[in-house]
Structure 1
Amino acid sequence: MTANEDQEMELEALRSIYEGDECFKEIGPVSFQFRIGDLEDTKAFLMDVTWTETYPETSPQISLDAFFNNRISAETKQLILSKLEEQVEANLGTAMMYTLFEWAKENQEVLMENHKPVTATLISSGDGSSDASTAKKKERKEQLTKAQKRRIINRTDHKGELPRGWNWVDVIKHLSKTGGKDDE
């Protein structure tokens, strides 16, 4: 079989295996993304894999440069890439995408054991008290007076819904301006 036939067969297999899986995303006919871990997991990472023209005889291009991976240190990325390259070398000449993805899922803890999330630091001018005051302003909800609350409660039923026909005055005003069917 030629490389293209092997790629087509593997592509069909990947589509059927990962159909409906939110971790797998087909970017193009030879480009894929696979997320290892849950979205909320700080140890999750996103693999970008692109097949070369001669794949699976040659190794695919694997990248961890996605924005999703910004919180991962460069050392951890290098460790992950080197371990993935070992797996690629072991499976060279065969369809290896499923094997790579599953191996990465099974070994996520080992790959990310030295991971310390990289966080962006905010540079603030001043003593930092302004940051605290803006946070409090965002949390504050609109305050209603007792009279406003009473009016709202009196207009609604026990379910918090307005009763049928509550805006009948507006309907009468509208009809008086537009006229009825008989005025034509």
Structure 2
Amino acid sequence: MTANEDQEMELEALQSIYGDDECFKEISPVAFQFRIGELEDTKSFLLDITWPESYPETAPNISLDAFFNNRISAETKQTILLKLQEQAEANLGTAMTYTLFEWAKENQEVLMENHKPVVTAVTLTSNCEVTSAPSAMKKKEKKEQLTKAQKRRIVSRTDNKGELPRGWNWVDVIKHVSTDPCTFRWFP
């Protein structure tokens, strides 16, 4: 059996196993993502596996570069990748994507035992309460400042009560229609 036939069979198997699983995502026929753990769990991570041309005779490319994994330290990522690559080497020559996903799921606690969440600005603003300082309370929204010319134009358009004359906006519509006859036809 050729590598492409093996890949097609494994792809069908993955689709049938993980078809409705929200943790699994097929990026392309040779690239897959699987979330290990729950979304809210700080010890969850997203595992990317991509098959090279000669897969399963060679190990797949395993990555933890997804944005979801930004909260995991570089040391923890390196540990996870090393252990997954050991599993891939042990399973060379066989369809191993399902095996790697399931092994990572079963060993999540061991893989993440030294995990210390990386604190980022995004997590800080979403996890802490925002306190209003007195300087923030003093700031008010700035109103749009009109120039003298803009104020004069507004005053010249209005009557003594500050209201615009009746039909003031129809002049612009008629001017537009007269300059561009394609936009409006008077006769059928």
Q: TM-score, normalised by structure 2?
A: 0.66
1:91-110 equivalences under 5 Å are 91-110=91-110
Task: Point out where structure 2 has 5 or more consecutive residues left out of the alignment.
Answer: 123-129, 137-188
Match of 1:4 in 2: 4
1:45 is the counterpart of 2:51 = no
Question: What does 1:47-126 align with in structure 2 at a 5 Å threshold?
Answer: 47-121=47-121
> Match for residue 131 of structure 2?
132
Structure with max Cα Rg: 2
Counterpart position of 2:30: 30
Specify the code of the residue in structure 1 equivalent to 2:132: S
Q: Tell me, what secondary structure is at the counterpart of 1:70?
A: helix
What is the CA deviation profile of residues 116-135 of structure 1, one whole-angstrom value per residue up to 9, with x for unaligned ones? 0001148xxxxxxxx5117x
- Point out where structure 1 has 5 or more consecutive residues left out of the alignment: 123-130, 138-184
SS at match of 2:25: strand
Amino acid of the residue matched to residue 133 of structure 1? S
| Structure 2 letter corresponding to 1:48 | D
Corresponding letter in the other structure for 2:131 = A
**What does residue 179 of structure 2 align with?**
none
Q: 1:92 and 1:117 mapped to 2: Cα distance?
A: 33
C-alpha distance in 2 between matches for 1:132 and 1:116: 27
Aligned counterparts of 1:98 and 1:67: Cα–Cα separation in 2: 23
Q: How many equivalent residue pairs?
A: 127
The whole-number CA distance in structure 1 between the counterparts of 2:93 and 2:41 is 34
Normalization by structure 1: what TM-score? 0.67
Q: What RMSD in Å do the two structures reach over aligned CA positions?
A: 1.4
Task: List structure 1 runs of 4+ shifted beyond 2 angstroms.
Answer: none
Measure, in 1, the Cα distance between the counterparts of 2:6 and 2:102.
20
**In structure 1, distance between residues paired with 2:52 and 2:39:** 29
